[in-house]
Structure 1
Amino acid sequence: MEFPDLPVRPVLGEVTSALTGHGTAVLVAPPGTGKTTLVPLALAEAGLRVVVAEPRRLATRAAAGRMAELLGERVGQRVGYSVRGERKRGPDTVVEVVTSGLLVRRLQADPELSGVDVVVLDECHERHLDADLLLALLLDAREGLRPDLKVLATSATVAAERVADLLGGAPVLHARARTHPVRVEHVPPQRGERTESAVARATRAALSEQDGDVLVFLPGAGEIRRVAGHLADLSDVDVLPLHGRLAHSQQDTALRAGTRRRVVLATAVAESSLTVPGVRAVVDSGLARVSRTDVRRGLSGLATVRVSAAVAEQRAGRAGRQGPGVVYRCWPEHEHSTLPDYPEPEIRTAELTRLALELACWGTPDGSALSWWDVPPSGALSAGREVLRGLGALDGSGSVTERGRRMAGFGLHPRLARALLDGADSAGSEVAAEVVALLDNDNLTTEVDVTTALSRLRSGGPGAQRWREEARRLAAQVPDAPRGDGDEALVVALAQPERLARRRGEDSATYLMASGTAVELRSGSALRGSEWLAVAVADRAPGRSAGVIRLAAPADEELARRAAPALLSEEDEISWADGDVRAVRVRRLGAIPLATRPLRDPDPEQVRRALLEGLRAEALEPLRWNDDARRLRQRLAFLHRAIGDPWPATDDESLLEAADRWLEPELSQARRRADLRLAAGEALRRLVPWSEVGRLDELAPDRIAVPSGAQIRVDYSAEQPALPVKLQEVFGWQRAPRIADGRVPVVLHLLSPAGRPAAVTGDLESFWRSGYPQVRAELRGRYPKHPWPEDPTGATPTRGTNRRR
């Protein structure tokens, strides 16, 4: 055939020669060069049977349609395609376009890929999980069963060296695109403006300033709907959505040039593997939707992230295909340099349960026998295998079971496969298939209530045709299941038993999931009266501890028990709660308490640990701390600081660590807080070694005799021991007393006759000489009845006035 004059045409012969000579090759060619359509046709013309693996369903159908059009044929003749639930091919088909995930399934069933000469991995730079797995399996198949199988990897970026190495040092070929200059305009959101509003504003600017159609990149279908709403008043322009969940007819409309100007609102499907004709301006939101897993909270799904610099460049290039163009970037110019270079490979961030099942089916559960572009993270892969064991898809050794192979054959995430398989038995094949089809395409609805969403789909609402076709396909895979009770919530719960949730309070909108994560219903939700929910979809905004419920079905405790028997447990819980020991037997569903009853004879050791927990939580206050006990604790603490061993530390942590020594036998016999009301002072004395008991009062005396004859109590509450005493009572002392075997001077807090502070000193000799004259001058006029001798060292100490001496 005569190939169109596209940029890839000059290298078609080189591609065929490289594959014939080396068996593998890498072709780097920007979007729009014809690599997706011309290369497979050229290989077929050379007598090779070709399978093209595309990352998306939409691109799969579009590529097959374009190739068939070039041949002047209908799809299904020499060019066909296969996606999950749909196949168009015939006996004359020599080029078949399939999704990467479907080719993985085909390879699992037939590792030799009988009847295939070449596999083309299109757009491998996008690093989708299925594509990375497919590459690893193909390399393994080539090494063993099919060394003659040829593999061509195509990429729209120059990051081809790594895949060339994986393909055994494959030759790298380049096709240069004939592009026109693209001017960059930055149109960031204004203060307080939402992204969708900024995108709509930039789109209006593109329509007024440029000729041709406008291609707008948005992260998802929800944003597409909202931007379309902002542009609803454009009467002379066709505003068309383009994303993977649309009906085929709507997708085809967006991919065909029209008679009027068009604004095509697209997700990432239009970045590289699809050509949207007529585009002269691109509006880029700068956002993309990617898989993310919050392992700690048990939430996984899609997150909105900033695009990489490589993706932004690809998007911009769409404006320069047919002439000079403009890209309007909806972020500040200074932020562009902070974008990551390339997208994060999905294998590093996604939940890997499905990958784990495919690896087990291949015979290498941990994937270690395969060559990877990026090795799957061991933690995420182990978590996936644990889920599969719980679903019965893997046995104890990690090998796939017959049930697991059947689940893998459904082409669903293993959780949904389990819901289809077991839900058909419990709720009936039809209901199970309908629910699973909805859960697998949850963006078909904006409803939060599963029952309402299904009702609208059954009555022919948006997306109904696609949903109905998928439900029929799934129902056909469990045809022998008996008719069940039709419980939709049960099917949801079978898919995500860890997301069964119970309301936290009678009027609360917050629910606790069995996984232990809190989730909330939006205000006004019709589900807010439900005690139990089977949560299908929930996500969490950054910075928030609780997730938000996006799709759920009302449930009850009986249903929860039926759906998640493996999560049921009963255990004794003995802990410190609400200021006392709580000893109960709790029946739970995961983290959700179902029933509680008191324990009559709790385990003594657990009670002891709970009491210690309470003492720690309340800083030992449950004990009976009278003034004498507190002073003893202070005196012991002083000796520990001044002398050290064998005098014990008496801070909270040290006392708790030494509880076995000073709180026994009381602690071992106590059962509740009231039993700890022992005299703490008596217990503390157990920490003092027997050999030192008699020296306590000598080293850290409770009271010290002063010259007046009074016994004054020493204050040990501060770092330095202090003696608060009236100044007249220490007349005659030459030096302040020292304690702790003379190591530490006692600080004298000298008081006026009224008991108010007059001076503080640890050096009494210096005070008499230089400080006392000033104090005497200030106070003797105020207290004339008390003695104020000029030489206090020779004066008679007194507690009273001059008359009472």
Structure 2
Amino acid sequence: MSGPQELPVAALVPEVLAQLKGSKLVLQAPPGAGKSTYLPLALLQQGDWQGRRILLLQPRRLAAVAIAHYLAEQLGESVGQRVGYHVRGERRAQANTQLMVITEGIFVQYLQQDPELSDVAVVLFDEFHERNLFSDLGLAMLLEALPLRPDLGVLIMSATLPAETIASWLGEDARVLQSAGRQHPISVHYRPPKVANDWLQHSVQVISEALQSAAQGVLVFLPGWREIQQLQQRLQLPAEVLPLHRQLPLAAQRAALGELPEGQKKVVLATNIAETSLTIPGIDVVVDSGRERRSVFHPRHGVSRLQTQRISKAAATQRAGRAGRLGPGQCFRLWSQNEEHSMRDYDEPALLTDDLSGAALEAKRWGTELSEMQFLSPANPVHVKVAQQHLQALGVIDGTLHLTALGKRVAEYGAEPRLARIAVAVEQASAEQRGAAALVLAQLEQPPRQPEQFPLTANQLQGEARKRWQFWCQKLRVKPVVTQVAAPLAAELALWGFADRIAQCRGEAGTHYRLAYGGGARFHHGDHRVGGEWLLVLTMNFSEAQADAIIGCVLPLTESDFRHPALTLAWQQELRLSGPRQRFEVVEVQRLGVLTVAQRAAQTQPTHDERVQLLVDYVQQQPSAALDWESAASLLARLRLAQRYLPESEHGHWPDFEQRALLAELAHWAAPYWQNIKDLEQLRRWSPQAALKARLSYQQEQLLEHLCPQYWHAPSGHRHAIDYTSTPPKVALKLQEVFGTPASPALCQGKVTLMLELLSPAGRPLQRTSDLASFWQNSYQQVKKEMKGRYPKHPWPDDPVQAQATRKTKKFLQNNE
């Protein structure tokens, strides 16, 4: 690596030192400027921080550990002395450590434990452009805490996001610094595959080409570890092939970052873990697949799915830059230059795409809500709502969305809420139960790649899963002596956090299931496991072509599991259909979400009002099948259109006729008409039309008729029903009936033009128009030419605007002149 004096960021050090204390700075520095390595070290050596620490935040554990080791080596020390690190499950530091390299999730925990950061002088946010969930959350929390520490220095560093955008969001007191990059020239080559789906096989020959042109080594960017494994098996190269991905133990990850003896070449197969921060020695050529695997949250299922997608232009620039860190380089891209036009400029922030349950819990522990925090991009409101529902189901927050006593203990773990809930449940249990929980929790964090093997024994755990087992043993204050867990005990433990994932078999095959929250799931077609009637689904995945989730790790459930304290089952009355006439019958059921656990005949019959309410509940559960909405479709369309163009003074008084509101208020407007309904056929024959109109006052009925009349009175003297189910509303009538009408009629006080479907004398469609004036000037003469010979008895005047509107023949009109 070139000496630090050559790094462009060195020129900014005096300015940073002069301004940083008690300030918010934003540094935009391209790759290779030295912002992750030279700048933190310069601040450590040249700044007077009065015994307080510098925190350098990194988005990835590998980068945090590697940078800490690199910085310590520059000082001629081992890591843990003046430079230390703290990542999930591992901390290397002493009381006098001055520079701590930490992950953003750890930083959030620092703030929760000490909002003033009393032993910290400076916080450096590195690679902020990645917009990880905990970088945004940590910064938002820090901004709220800054009034407690007006002397704290905050430096936000980004390689691609415009610094001015970040600074203007931070406020008028934020200052911007710009650094040049140290980027050597990079030659870019485009190597698109002939068939898009064959890109992985195509990459084999591109990597071989890249290695031939490399003076040192090749860095290959791939979506995930599966593609890395496949390429390792296919590549036959005169070089050492090294993997680099998150599932590898940290020691194996660091091996890919090491230098090889002179004269040897290497090929590093990496995920986007190698995009930023890390400088991998011995790399002068990059092969970029243009793909990455990102976590995308599915709110309906409450599951995050790793989805392979195209990278952004910013990520492509970052990746190519890895080839030019140490000298001139080359980048081979597995796409065409034309494809770059459709690539997004930047990655979406995790606040828009990720599961927000953990972040929402941290916000509540902090004393606020995600929706009230200062983010560069606001959190996805749908994901926030789902997160709140999830936390309520776990008992972490109450109906007022405040943390419960249980929730406070769950939050203190700083772990995924489901897992922390399990941990809290066993805190006072026996050592054996806590040991079993530690083994199960480790596997829920790092599920086995072969889900049918779940739960693994301790001896089968490898890499990160084994480290997490040791972590959970420490958290639960138990020695790692429980080395295997039977499925019934694992289910008993997992139910504390996964009660919503109970699944009931659909059909007899034992392959398709319905989950308590309403989603469907099934075993993969190549998976020969067959489950029983009830399962606890712990992990799920998704297929692009399937609506149902793909079942991963599962545990069988028995009848006794439904007495688990985490489940609240109560008998409730419902309406069911029975007999050939589909009569409504009252039964009592035990429900778990949407699943029926048990059913029995009603012990007591409901009152008349209770029965009507049960009918309301039935219709709300299946509105399309139970009610004849079609008979009221035109009226509803008319009411909704009028509602859109109401005078301002009427908006607050007009009933809501949207489907959602109608279903929510069934008991008020529809139920009074259902007093004598006994079976499904009677319910389906009932038309909602009269009940809907009854929601309007006399004055509102008059206003409806004024804005959206039921009929249009044609110039011919006849009235025609307006079809409001069409967009825009339309009227069908014979062309001759609109003679003498120069322009199209309008509704809603002239704001909506009525569509006219003009018919021939035989009633066949000739033309649809919402611009009658244009029709008379343009299309009419052609229509007249074609129709005059076919319908000679009817008038076809040369000037239809001046002609008399009629439904009669020419002879009738002449006889009545």
TM-score, normalising length: structure 2: 0.70
Report if aligned partners of 1:121, 1:153 keep a CA contact under 8 Å in 2. yes
Q: Does 1:545 align with 2:547?
A: yes
**Structure 1 segment 342-741 matched on structure 2, within 5 A:** 342-368=346-372, 370-423=373-426, 425=429, 428-442=433-447, 445-449=448-452, 451-452=454-455, 454-455=456-457, 458-460=458-460, 462-463=462-463, 466-479=464-477, 487-525=489-527, 527-562=529-564, 564-566=566-568, 570-574=572-576, 580-581=582-583, 583=585, 584-599=587-602, 601=605, 604-605=611-612, 671-672=678-679
> Aligned-pair RMSD on alpha carbons?
3.5
Question: What does residue 712 of structure 2 align with?
Answer: none
Report if aligned partners of 1:422, 1:494 keep a CA contact under 8 Å in 2. yes
Structure 1 CA distance for aligned equivalents of residues 683 and 409 of structure 2: 60
How far the C-alpha of 1:586 sits from its partner, in A, is: 2.6
Q: Does 1:9 align with 2:16?
A: no
How far the C-alpha of 1:448 sits from its partner, in A, is: 1.3
**Relative to 1, partners in 2 of residues 1:582 and 1:523: Cα closer, same or farther, differing over 3 Å?**
farther
Question: What does residue 151 of structure 1 align with?
Answer: 154
How far the C-alpha of 1:578 sits from its partner, in A, is: 8.4
**Relative to 1, partners in 2 of residues 1:509 and 1:668: Cα closer, same or farther, differing over 3 Å?**
same
Q: Does 1:214 align with 2:218?
A: yes
**Structure 1 segment 185-224 matched on structure 2, within 5 A:** 185-191=189-195, 193-224=197-228
Q: What is the DSSP-based 3-state SS (H/G/I as helix, E as strand, rest coil) of the residue aligned with 1:544?
A: coil
Amino acid of the structure 2 residue aligned with 1:25: L
How far the C-alpha of 1:222 sits from its partner, in A, is: 2.4
**Relative to 1, partners in 2 of residues 1:585 and 1:178: Cα closer, same or farther, differing over 3 Å?**
same
Q: What is the DSSP-based 3-state SS (H/G/I as helix, E as strand, rest coil) of the residue aligned with 2:612?
A: helix
Question: What does residue 230 of structure 2 align with?
Answer: 226
Question: What does residue 742 of structure 2 align with?
Answer: none
Gaps of 5+ in 1: 621-663, 679-718, 720-746, 748-769, 771-805
Q: What is the DSSP-based 3-state SS (H/G/I as helix, E as strand, rest coil) of the residue aligned with 1:153?
A: strand
Report if aligned partners of 2:32, 2:182 keep a CA contact under 8 Å in 1. no
Report if aligned partners of 1:576, 1:611 keep a CA contact under 8 Å in 2. no
CA offset digits 1:172-213 (Å, max 9, x no partner): 222222322222222333337444323333222212343321
Structure 2 CA distance for aligned equivalents of residues 110 and 128 of structure 1: 22
Amino acid of the structure 2 residue aligned with 1:24: K
Structure 1 CA distance for aligned equivalents of residues 348 and 443 of structure 2: 28
Q: Which has the larger radius of gyration?
A: 1
CA offset digits 1:520-568 (Å, max 9, x no partner): 1123535324332221221223453111123223333432552641366
Question: What does residue 256 of structure 1 align with?
Answer: 258
Q: What is the DSSP-based 3-state SS (H/G/I as helix, E as strand, rest coil) of the residue aligned with 1:534?
A: strand
Structure 1 CA distance for aligned equivalents of residues 356 and 410 of structure 2: 15
Amino acid of the structure 1 residue aligned with 2:7: L
How far the C-alpha of 1:675 sits from its partner, in A, is: 9.3
How far the C-alpha of 1:362 sits from its partner, in A, is: 1.2
Amino acid of the structure 2 residue aligned with 1:28: Q
Structure 1 CA distance for aligned equivalents of residues 581 and 215 of structure 2: 74
Q: What is the DSSP-based 3-state SS (H/G/I as helix, E as strand, rest coil) of the residue aligned with 2:454?
A: helix
**Structure 1 segment 281-320 matched on structure 2, within 5 A:** 281-320=285-324
Q: What is the DSSP-based 3-state SS (H/G/I as helix, E as strand, rest coil) of the residue aligned with 1:587?
A: strand
Structure 2 CA distance for aligned equivalents of residues 577 and 140 of structure 1: 64
How far the C-alpha of 1:69 sits from its partner, in A, is: 0.7
Structure 1 CA distance for aligned equivalents of residues 278 and 569 of structure 2: 46
Report if aligned partners of 1:569, 1:589 keep a CA contact under 8 Å in 2. no
Amino acid of the structure 2 residue aligned with 1:211: A
Question: What does residue 23 of structure 1 align with?
Answer: 23
Structure 2 CA distance for aligned equivalents of residues 617 and 36 of structure 1: 61
Question: What does residue 240 of structure 2 align with?
Answer: 238
Amino acid of the structure 2 residue aligned with 1:302: L
Report if aligned partners of 2:54, 2:100 keep a CA contact under 8 Å in 1. yes
Report if aligned partners of 2:26, 2:157 keep a CA contact under 8 Å in 1. yes
Amino acid of the structure 2 residue aligned with 1:118: V
Q: What is the DSSP-based 3-state SS (H/G/I as helix, E as strand, rest coil) of the residue aligned with 1:565?
A: coil
Gaps of 5+ in 2: 629-670, 686-731, 733-761, 763-792, 794-817
How far the C-alpha of 1:34 sits from its partner, in A, is: 1.7
Structure 2 CA distance for aligned equivalents of residues 43 and 134 of structure 1: 22
Report if aligned partners of 1:448, 1:525 keep a CA contact under 8 Å in 2. no
Structure 2 CA distance for aligned equivalents of residues 613 and 68 of structure 1: 63
Structure 2 CA distance for aligned equivalents of residues 674 and 248 of structure 1: 66
CA offset digits 1:668-719 (Å, max 9, x no partner): 66645799999xxxxxxxxxxxxxxxxxxxxxxxxxxxxxxxxxxxxxxxx9
Q: Does 1:164 align with 2:171?
A: no
CA offset digits 1:464-493 (Å, max 9, x no partner): xx3223222222222389999871133333
Greater CA drift, 589-598 or 38-47: 589-598
**Relative to 1, partners in 2 of residues 1:670 and 1:467: Cα closer, same or farther, differing over 3 Å?**
closer
Question: What does residue 40 of structure 1 align with?
Answer: 40
Structure 1 CA distance for aligned equivalents of residues 443 and 490 of structure 2: 11
Q: What is the DSSP-based 3-state SS (H/G/I as helix, E as strand, rest coil) of the residue aligned with 1:487?
A: helix
TM-score, normalising length: structure 1: 0.71
**Relative to 1, partners in 2 of residues 1:411 and 1:202: Cα closer, same or farther, differing over 3 Å?**
farther
CA offset digits 1:595-638 (Å, max 9, x no partner): 23345857653687779999996999xxxxxxxxxxxxxxxxxx
CA offset digits 1:135-177 (Å, max 9, x no partner): 11111111x2101110011111142223222443422222222
Q: What is the DSSP-based 3-state SS (H/G/I as helix, E as strand, rest coil) of the residue aligned with 2:210?
A: helix
Report if aligned partners of 1:393, 1:404 keep a CA contact under 8 Å in 2. yes
Amino acid of the structure 1 residue aligned with 2:438: A
CA offset digits 1:754-802 (Å, max 9, x no partner): xxxxxxxxxxxxxxxx9xxxxxxxxxxxxxxxxxxxxxxxxxxxxxxxx
How far the C-alpha of 1:407 sits from its partner, in A, is: 1.9
Amino acid of the structure 2 residue aligned with 1:328: F
**Relative to 1, partners in 2 of residues 1:298 and 1:108: Cα closer, same or farther, differing over 3 Å?**
closer
Q: Which of 70, 77, 91 is matched with 1:73 structurally?
A: 77
Report if aligned partners of 2:32, 2:183 keep a CA contact under 8 Å in 1. no
Amino acid of the structure 2 residue aligned with 1:33: A
How far the C-alpha of 1:592 sits from its partner, in A, is: 1.9
How far the C-alpha of 1:24 sits from its partner, in A, is: 1.9
Q: What is the DSSP-based 3-state SS (H/G/I as helix, E as strand, rest coil) of the residue aligned with 2:583?
A: strand
**Relative to 1, partners in 2 of residues 1:669 and 1:267: Cα closer, same or farther, differing over 3 Å?**
same
How far the C-alpha of 1:102 sits from its partner, in A, is: 0.6
**Relative to 1, partners in 2 of residues 1:607 and 1:533: Cα closer, same or farther, differing over 3 Å?**
closer
Structure 2 CA distance for aligned equivalents of residues 508 and 539 of structure 1: 18
**Relative to 1, partners in 2 of residues 1:547 and 1:615: Cα closer, same or farther, differing over 3 Å?**
closer
CA offset digits 1:429-486 (Å, max 9, x no partner): 11211211122123xx31113535x23xx224542xx322322222222238999987
Q: Which of 114, 138, 141 is matched with 2:142 structurally?
A: 138
**Relative to 1, partners in 2 of residues 1:396 and 1:207: Cα closer, same or farther, differing over 3 Å?**
same
Report if aligned partners of 1:534, 1:552 keep a CA contact under 8 Å in 2. yes
